[in-house]
Amino acid sequence: DAGVTQSPTHLIKTRGQQVTLRCSPKSGHDTVSWYQQALGQGPQFIFQYYEEEERQRGNFPDRFSGHQFPNYSSELNVNALLLGDSALYLCASSKEGAEQFFGPGTRLTVL
């Protein structure tokens, strides 16, 4: 049973560029949440997708957007990248309740 998968593993971009990160949820899960984890910090909630809609959003600017596809996979898009966007981006999937299972993350470096 495959767990949560994310791609790419690492990514290097320059300021002002745009990036798309991808996530496939654990089998049987229908909800995907995205988190940003800065070095030495706990993950910060970006948003959650359920039934192809953004159900909840954290305190992140509109430069951060997402999408969920009919097969429950999801994308995170970040426009106009800033140096401060450098972080580990984590995707978590769940079925019901709060038991969110995390993928390995995408390490984004903005130069």
Using the structure block, give the residue that is written with the tokens 């290097």. Answer: 12
Measured CA distances, 10 to 3, 19, 59, 107, 109 (Å): 19, 12, 24, 5, 8
Tell me how far apart the alpha carbons of residues 69 and 24 are, in angstroms, rounded to a whole number.
10
The region of 12-20, 62-70, 72-80, 101-109 touching another protein under the rule CB under 8 A is: 101-109
Residues 1 to 20 in contact with another protein, rule: CB under 8 A: 4, 6
Which of 15, 55, 63, 95 touches another protein by CB under 8 A?
55
The residue ranges that bind another protein (CB under 8 A) are 4, 6, 33, 35, 40-45, 48, 55-56, 58-59, 90, 92, 97-105, 107
